[in-house]
Each structure stands twice: as structure tokens, then as C-alpha cells.
Amino acid sequence: MGKIELYHRGHKVGQVYKENVYLYNNFHFKIKYHVGSMQGKFRITGFEVESNSHAGVDSCTQDGTPLLLTKDKPAKVSFSYTVEWEEGTIAWASRWDTYLTSATNSQIHWFSIVNSLIIVLFLSGLLAMIMVRALRRDIAAYNLDEEMDDTYEETGWKLLHGDVMRPPNFCTNLVALIGSGVQIGATALACIVLSVMGMLS
């Protein structure tokens, strides 16, 4: 069975162990880079942070004693960091794959997407129901008016029957805007689909 590496998003500032609070004051940054196709060009494809807790004045010196924080006793804390550059095998197009293997629940993304879709469908159904009820009420009122008086002045939705097939003003600009909007929407949808399929970096 192969070894699987899991990553946490971000890093912890400390740790609580048996009601004791330990502060991380030393950080080791490992920056991974990939050699590009052009000579002398490098691209950063990821980085890792390792947090440690070192007591004493010099936080770079690791003597095995973690930095313990207490409520009653003030403490002088010194922070330090180290940097390590590592040539990785991860290509520039696959730099986001590490984000998918994080230790946190990766299903939260799909949960957010499904939650958003459900909310959109619910609001769309609610709006459609309101419009259908308004239309039914107007149609019932129109039918009652026609039975009572044929010369009753037309109001509401009936005023639209003469404007349905009438060309609008500046129809050329309207067609151009609609065409551009459809093209932009189709392009955005295609980019989202290709990103989900992993075909875009």
C-alpha cells in the first residue's frame, strides 16, 4: 500500500496538551520550485510550513523543551524561521493538486456547490410560484371583466398584447449586447467545465 501525504491548510499557532498551552515560535519554510522549459527560469509550485515550539531566548536552538505559556507568569517570546529551497517534481500545471490532498474534509467544496444549487432552485421555484399566482389572479379578473362589460378598459398584462411583436428601439444594439452576453456566458461555462475536468492549470 502506497504512502499518502496529507496537508493541512495553514499552520497552527500553538497546541493545547493536558491543559497546557504551548506556542509555536519557530517556523521552517520549505519552498518547492520547478525548472521551466526556458533556461534560467524557475517557477514556485508550492511551499510547506513546519511549526515548532522552542523554549529559551534563542528560538532557533532546539533543546527539546517546548515553550509553555502560563496565565500568571509573563514570558519573553522570540520568533525565528528558516527557509529551504527544494527542487520538486510537481509541474506548474499540477501545482493545485496538493490542495486536493489536504487533511481537511475535501467534500466541503461539493457540499458548498450543492448547497448553492439548492438555494438557487428554491428561490427560482418561489419566484415562479409567485408569478404564476399573480398571472392566474389577473386572468381570472380579466375573464370576469369580459363577462361583465366588454368595453372595460384593458389594464395589466393585457396591455402587452400589442407590444409582443413590435420591434424595440435600437434593436441592433440590443442584438449585439445579447450576443456578447451569450458568448461570455458560454465561455465562462466552458472554462468551469474544463477546470472541473482538470484540463486547465
pLDDT in tens, the chain (201 residues): 456 666 677 778 888 888 888 888 888 899 888 887 667 778 888 888 888 888 766 656 666 677 788 778 887 888 888 899 988 777 777 777 777 666 555 555 677 788 889 999 999 999 999 989 988 887 777 677 655 555 556 666 666 666 667 777 888 888 888 888 889 989 999 988 887 776 765
Q: What is the pLDDT of residues 21-69, one digit of tens each?
A: 888 888 889 988 888 766 777 888 888 888 888 876 665 666 667 778 8
Q: What average pLDDT does the structure give for the chain?
A: 78
Angstrom distance (rounded) from CA 21 to CA 73: 13
Measured CA to CA, the distance from residue 183 to residue 186 in angstroms comes to: 5
How far is 79 from 68, CA to CA, in rounded Å?
14
- pTM equals 0.47
Q: What angle do CA 173, 176, 180 make, to 5 degrees?
A: 140
